[in-house]
């Protein structure tokens, strides 16, 4: 016997009960994004490998160790499963001339991303992100909007124990001055650096500040701070962001070690973190990336954005008591006999045509077993069709959740009768205003 095939490690199936929670969450997110004027965009899952090398940085962990890259056997093109969405979104905006043709753009996308990491709770090889990008906006107001809109979503979801950390990475010139000072400082402690630290010392020393190694914490705490190298323009931008956050009543902490793991960031960066998910405590992160559009070949444009991890957010949502409403049909159609089955199909389609959700029983079984399934479906009404009903061209309408007797009605009166029964199920509140 052949071995049963399993999903790739770190790439998970999302089964119906869980998938309904995902869909409910995505509906909330779409409404939230529309309320801020963001429009959807969809990009390919596979992109040219140079896109990510150029955007993310060749000496980042993602490019060096985590990307799923391969050579197209047909034409030799080097391709990569997208590890993040910003580079793809910017590439699409450049390719289709979105900003130049339509002015500044507020965009969002969602879907799977891929990184070859060690799978653990909250960190998977196929994971899902919701990404928000604002292209063509230069001021601190869009930075603040991104942070404030996150706070509103957390409130809509009822999330608890979520805190905000912010920092400014300044300009490329300011980071270069800080980088030189940081290398000089770290060289004095080179014998204490771990392997990652030694590897990054000259290629990406800023990432050493983000180390989780407890043996290096005293070194990074005493390291030169980027804030001391910011010029007036960068300071004013960061101060303006903070004023808007304070006006909105959003508490935050300035974390001088917050650098983000992608090379394209500048000026404002932020992370929303929680203590409820263990080591994978970052649920949302982003910032400004003004140089990326020109870096990818487009006309220079300011830009900012952020992404949230769906798996982590859903885990936190459930941890805080959130749950999706169960999806149930309005009616469940039970039937017995060939003529009844044909009428059942017509009845179910007639109801769907009037906007009702109808589940048609399939697979046979006694009336008793079918009614058990009808009750288990959560439907408010069972349509019962037997030989007598089929011969008369009628349908039995049986309330399952409230009071009222079963009645037989002609097919052309079925939708009206179902509407009345569902209306009565809703109680007296609706009766007072005369609505159906």
Q: Six-digit token pair at 133?
A: 């990008």
For residues 138 and 99, is the Cβ–Cβ distance under 8 A? no
3-state secondary structure of 217: helix
Q: Six-digit token pair at 251?
A: 């508490």
Q: Is 309 exposed, middle or buried (0-12, 13-18, 19+ CB in 10 A)?
A: buried
Strand order in the sheet with 394-399: 358-360, 331-335, 381-385, 394-399, 407-410
Strand order in the sheet with 253-254: 39-40, 105-114, 126-135, 303-309, 282-288, 266-274, 162-168, 253-254
Which residues are documented as binding site for L-histidine? 84-86, 115, 129, 133, 260, 264-265
> Judging by DSSP bridges, how do beta strands 39-40 and 381-385 pair with one another?
unpaired
Q: Report d(CA 106, CA 248) in Å as an integer.
A: 21
Quick count: other Cβ atoms within 10 Å of Cβ 353?
Answer: 10
Which residues are documented as binding site? 84-86, 115, 129, 133, 260, 264-265
Q: Report d(CA 251, CA 50) in Å as an integer.
A: 39
Ordered DSSP codes for 170-201: --HHHHHHHHHHHHHHHHTTGGG--HHHHHHT
Q: Report d(CA 250, CA 244) in Å as an integer.
A: 9
Helices (H) and strands (E) in the chain, counts: 17, 16
| Torsion sign, CA atoms 80, 84, 87, 93 | positive
For residues 10 and 117, is the Cβ–Cβ distance under 8 A? yes
For residues 379 and 331, is the Cβ–Cβ distance under 8 A? yes
Element (H, E) at 235: helix 232-247
Ordered DSSP codes for 105-118: EEEEEEEEEE----
Residue 325 region by backbone torsions, left for phi larger than 0, else alpha for psi between -120 and 50, else beta:
beta
């Amino acid at each position: 016997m052949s071995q049963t095939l399993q999903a790739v490690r770190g790439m998970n199936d999302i089964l119906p009960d869980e998938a309904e929670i995902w869909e409910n969450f995505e509906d909330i997110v779409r409404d939230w994004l529309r309320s801020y004027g963001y429009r959807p965009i969809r990009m390919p899952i596979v992109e040219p490998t140079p896109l990510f090398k150029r955007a993310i940085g060749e000496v980042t962990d993602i490019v060096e160790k985590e990307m799923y890259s391969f050579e197209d056997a047909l034409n030799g093109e080097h391709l990569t499963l997208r590890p993040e969405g910003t580079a793809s979104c910017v590439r699409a905006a450049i390719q289709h001339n979105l900003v130049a043709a339509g002015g500044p753009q507020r965009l969002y996308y969602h879907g799977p991303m891929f990184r070859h990491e060690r799978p653990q709770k909250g960190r998977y090889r196929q994971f899902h992100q919701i990404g928000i990008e604002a292209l063509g906006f230069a001021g601190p107001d869009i930075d603040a909007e991104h942070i404030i809109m996150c706070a509103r979503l957390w409130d809509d979801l009822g999330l608890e124990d979520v805190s905000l950390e912010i920092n400014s990475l300044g300009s490329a010139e300011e980071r270069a001055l800080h980088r030189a000072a940081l290398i000089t400082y770290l060289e004095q402690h080179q014998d204490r650096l771990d392997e990652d630290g030694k590897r990054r010392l000259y290629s990406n020393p800023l990432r050493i500040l983000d180390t989780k190694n407890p043996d290096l914490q005293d070194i990074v705490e005493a390291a030169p701070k980027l804030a001391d190298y910011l010029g007036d323009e960068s300071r004013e931008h960061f101060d303006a962001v903070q004023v808007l956050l304070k006006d909105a009543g959003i508490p935050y902490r300035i974390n001088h070690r917050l650098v983000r793991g992608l090379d394209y960031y500048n000026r404002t960066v932020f992370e929303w973190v929680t203590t409820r998910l263990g080591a994978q405590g970052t649920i949302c992160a982003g910032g400004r990336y003004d140089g990326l559009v020109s870096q990818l070949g487009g006309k220079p444009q300011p830009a900012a954005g952020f992404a949230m991890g769906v798996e982590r957010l859903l885990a936190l949502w459930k941890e805080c008591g959130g749950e999706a409403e169960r999806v149930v049909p309005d009616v469940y159609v039970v039937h017995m006999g060939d003529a009844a089955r044909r009428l059942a199909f017509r009845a179910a389609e007639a109801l769907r045509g009037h906007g009702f959700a109808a589940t048609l029983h399939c697979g046979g079984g006694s009336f008793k077993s079918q009614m058990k399934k009808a009750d288990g479906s959560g439907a408010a009404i069972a349509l019962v069709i037997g030989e007598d009903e089929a011969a008369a061209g009628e349908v039995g309408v049986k309330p399952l959740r409230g009071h009222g007797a079963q009645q037989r009605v002609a097919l052309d009166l079925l939708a009206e009768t179902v509407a009345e029964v569902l209306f009565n199920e809703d109680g007296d509140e609706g009766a007072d205003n005369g609505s159906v």
